[in-house]
Amino acid sequence: MKSLNKQPIGVFDSGIGGLTVVKALKKVLPYEDIVYFGDTARLPYGSKSSPTIIRFALQDAKFLVNRQVKMIIVACHSVSSVALPDLKKHFRLPIIGVIEPGAKAAVQASKNNCIGIIGTQATILAGAYERAIKNLNRQVEIVARSTPLFVPLAEQGWTTGPIALQIAKTYLTPMIGEKIDTLLLGCTHYPLLKNTIAKVFKQKVRIVDAALETALETKIILQAKKLLNPQKLAGTMKFYLSDLTPNFSSIGRQFLGADLTEVFRASISE
Amino acid sequence: MKSLNKQPIGVFDSGIGGLTVVKALKKVLPYEDIVYFGDTARLPYGSKSSPTIIRFALQDAKFLVNRQVKMIIVACHSVSSVALPDLKKHFRLPIIGVIEPGAKAAVQASKNNCIGIIGTQATILAGAYERAIKNLNRQVEIVARSTPLFVPLAEQGWTTGPIALQIAKTYLTPMIGEKIDTLLLGCTHYPLLKNTIAKVFKQKVRIVDAALETALETKIILQAKKLLNPQKLAGTMKFYLSDLTPNFSSIGRQFLGADLTEVFRASISE
């Protein structure tokens, strides 16, 4: 058996949106192996109730633990906002979500202490970003809004152009009057719409994407626990999906910025 | 135990879109009791592979059979297009989908034998509508297109206005040049967008909605099998959902045209 530091990092998401986190990991930690699980048979999690999201998250994490990962990144905002305490109770290895790193970066970026947050309905209703930000700085004012159409828009590939801009304007124009100087993209799909979102705000806000912040936080944790892979070889990537949907390879390429080569179908037992 | 003709009609869908079929049933068969199952924990089916859709459909039908229904309506185009033969093999009671009734009505409506079909990617890729139409009339020309953003658009409630119209134009304008005189709405969500879709075509096509046709076909089958409920009392409705999502009651009201009163959470075992 491999020594622990040579084991892969486990990443999971409700679907393939979490590949934006994998993309950031490859930049920050190029020597790490990555095992990804995407629960494409049961996506999206964003519209599901908290008990269901927790039940699915425990199954997803167990799948990765069975593949001997040294750490788990929850690359799903819905899971990070409702299931992280349960995950940490059930498993002993380091587990981080995308909420804390995103919240920290947003608080650091904001100068007027007024931050906007957008995400799926589950993420916004759960209020986890608000709690995480308030924990860091009680003075911060928060304007939160759910923007559910951004996910299917990114998956359709309509990330620029008049339709994307009009949907972004409909969701975000009310936020312009709220004097936010920083906008946190609270969903893994949203970085693909970053340019369109920036157009609505006309460069008046800093846009913080949690994916890169999560990758940097992962590096800090692996260093602290002496779990960085000592081998200086480009890391491998394995992708497990609970359903090989007709679109996964084209959407995956868009999110990862590279082809998904080693892809396997994985069954999740209830 | 009740006699068979007094048992309810079972209806299932991947989510709550199938409530448009329930709405049509209440019009056509007001004295029938209805048991509805919506697999909200695992929706949408439209983006899933055929083996997964078949597996889920068998579980959904079993759930209804266990509730002593006298007939099953598959109010989901994705399931109707890929899983109907498997369902009919596994269960003995009458089972109909939304494909055949929709196909029949479209063939009858078209005068120039050129029919357009829109639906989710799974429905369009499966080609079940094309086969059903060709079985009825080999001369019909078919123009099919997947329009996946219509589902989240209907659920967001943006069924009219500039965004809905622009998305409809983007998907449908290429169909205008194809001389279709009839358009089949191949997804239970799409009737909510009927007016917007009609605007794109400027009344030059007949729009056929499968929900009403399916309800009429159900009546014919129940009559033929002497299974119509003899009691002349307004039928009851029970709704089982695999997840009580935050939105189900507001979206449900929109689709059903009435409040969902008796709603229960139902577990589906794998």
Instruction: Tell me the torsion sign for CA atoms B108, B110, B112, B113.
Output: negative
- Look over chain A and give the mean of its residue pLDDT values, rounded to a whole number: 93
Q: Which of A16, A52, A54, A59 to mutate to test the interface with B (most CBs of B within 10 A)?
A: A52
What pTM, to 2 d.p., does this model score?
0.82
Q: For residues A242 and A39, what is the distance between their CA atoms, to the nearest angstrom?
A: 5
Facing B152 at nearest CB: one of A49, A149, A247:
A149
Q: Where do the structural domains in chain A lie, given as residue ranges?
A: 4-97+212-265, 99-210
- Look over chain B and give the mean of its residue pLDDT values, rounded to a whole number: 92
Q: Which residue's structure tokens are 């975000």?
A: A172
Could you give the 3-state DSSP secondary structure of residue A249?
helix
Asked whether the beta carbons of residue B243 and residue A270 sit closer than 8 angstroms, the reply is: no
Report pLDDT for B270. 52
∠ at Cα B155 (B153, B157), nearest 5°?
A: 75
Share above pLDDT 90 across residues of chain B, in percent, rounded to a whole number:
74
Non-local CB neighbours of B239 within 8 Å, separated by 6+ positions = B36, B38, B252, B260, B262, B263, B264
- Output the CATH code of domain A4-97+212-265: 3.40.50.1860
Strands B71-74 and B95-96: parallel
Minimal C-alpha gap between B265 and chain A (Å): 11
In the predicted structure, residue A252 carries a pLDDT above the cut 60: yes
- Write down the ipTM of this complex: 0.76
Task: Specify whether B114 is catalytic.
Answer: no
Considering the candidates A73, A187, A207, A266, report the single residue annotated as catalytic: A187
DSSP annotation string for A156-183: HT--SSHHHHHHHHHHHHHHHTTT-SEE
**Confidence at B269, pLDDT banded by 50, 70, 90:** low
∠ at Cα B209 (B208, B212), nearest 5°?
A: 120
List the structure tokens of A256.
């990862």
Share above pLDDT 70 across residues of chain A, in percent, rounded to a whole number:
99
Architecture of domain B99-210 in CATH? 3-Layer(aba) Sandwich (3.40)
Q: How many residues does chain B have?
A: 270
Mean pLDDT of B122-137: 90
Report pLDDT for A14. 92
Residue pairs spanning A and B at CB distance below 8 A: 73
pLDDT tens per residue across span A47-92: 788 899 999 999 999 999 999 999 999 999 889 988 999 999 999 9
Facing B148 at nearest CB: one of A40, A122, A152:
A152
Asked whether the beta carbons of residue A149 and residue B151 sit closer than 8 angstroms, the reply is: no
Q: For residues B192 and B197, what is the distance between their CA atoms, to the nearest angstrom?
A: 10
List the structure tokens of B9.
């009609």
Cβ neighbours of B125 (radius 10 Å): 17
List the structure tokens of B11.
């209806």
Specify the amino acid at residue B97.
Answer: G
Facing A243 at nearest CB: one of B48, B158, B247:
B48
Task: Tell me which residue of B238, B218, B239 sits closest to B227, measured CA to CA.
Answer: B218
Report pLDDT for A270. 52
Mean pLDDT of B56-85: 95
Task: Specify whether A114 is catalytic.
Answer: no
Minimal C-alpha gap between B103 and chain A (Å): 25
pLDDT tens per residue across span B234-251: 999 999 999 987 778 888
Asked whether the beta carbons of residue B246 and residue A49 sit closer than 8 angstroms, the reply is: yes
Asked whether the beta carbons of residue B152 and residue A156 sit closer than 8 angstroms, the reply is: no
Report pLDDT for B118. 95
Q: Which of A43, A47, A244 to mutate to test the interface with B (most CBs of B within 10 A)?
A: A47
In the predicted structure, residue A218 carries a pLDDT above the cut 70: yes
Minimal C-alpha gap between B12 and chain A (Å): 17
pLDDT tens per residue across span A127-178: 889 999 999 999 999 999 999 999 889 988 899 999 999 999 999 999 988 8
Mean pLDDT of B182-193: 92
Report pLDDT for A161. 94
* Topology alike, domains A4-97+212-265 and A99-210: yes
Q: Which residue's structure tokens are 């039908």?
A: B61
